[in-house]
Amino acid sequence: MLTNLRDICAIAEQNNMALAAVNSASLEAVRAAIDVAEQTGYPIIIQHAEAHEGVVPLKTIAPAVVALAERSSAQICINLDHCEHLSYAQRALDLGFNGVMFDGSTLPYEQNVEYSRRAAEMCVEYGAGLECELGSMGSREGGERDEGGTAEEAGAIYTDPDQAADFVKGTGLDILACSFGTVHGIYRGEPHLNFDVLEQIRKRIKVPLVMHGGSGVSDDDYRSAIDAGIRKINYYTYGAKYAGEAVRSVIDDRTKQGSDAIVYWHDMTVAAYESFVQTFGHVVKVFANGAAPLA
Ligand code: 13P
Domains defined for the chain, CATH in brackets: 5-287 (3.20.20.70)
87 vs 74: CA distance, rounded Å: 30
| CA 291 to chain centroid | 20
| CB 222 less than 6 A from any atom of ligand 1 | no
Which residue among 179, 209, 235, 276 has the greatest number of ligand 1 atoms within 8 angstroms of its CB, and so is best to mutate? 235
Per residue in 40-99, pLDDT (tens digit) is 999 999 999 999 999 999 999 999 999 999 999 999 999 999 999 999 999 999 999 999
Taking a C-beta distance cutoff of 8 angstroms, is the pair 288, 17 a contact?
yes
Helix then strand then coil, in percent of the chain rounded to 5, is: 50, 15, 35
Does 166 participate in catalysis according to the annotation?
A: no
Of 38, 34, 103, 105, nearest to 66 by C-alpha is 34
- Cα torsion for 258, 261, 266, 270, to the nearest 10°? -10
Name the residue with the closest Cα to ligand 1, atom 9.
234
Per residue in 90-129, pLDDT (tens digit) is 999 999 999 999 999 999 999 999 999 999 999 999 999 9
Neighbours of 94 (CB within 10 A): 10
Per residue in 231-255, pLDDT (tens digit) is 999 999 999 999 999 999 999 999 9
Atom of ligand 1 nearest to the CA of 212: 8
283 vs 236: CA distance, rounded Å: 11
How confident is the model over 223-238, as a mean pLDDT? 97
Taking a C-beta distance cutoff of 8 angstroms, is the pair 18, 227 a contact?
no
Confidence (pLDDT) at 11:
98
Name the residue with the closest Cα to ligand 1, atom 4.
236
Q: How many Cα atoms within 13 Å fall on the side-chain side of residue 100?
A: 34
How confident is the model over 270-289, as a mean pLDDT? 98
Taking a C-beta distance cutoff of 8 angstroms, is the pair 197, 159 a contact?
yes
Q: Does the pTM exceed 0.85?
A: yes
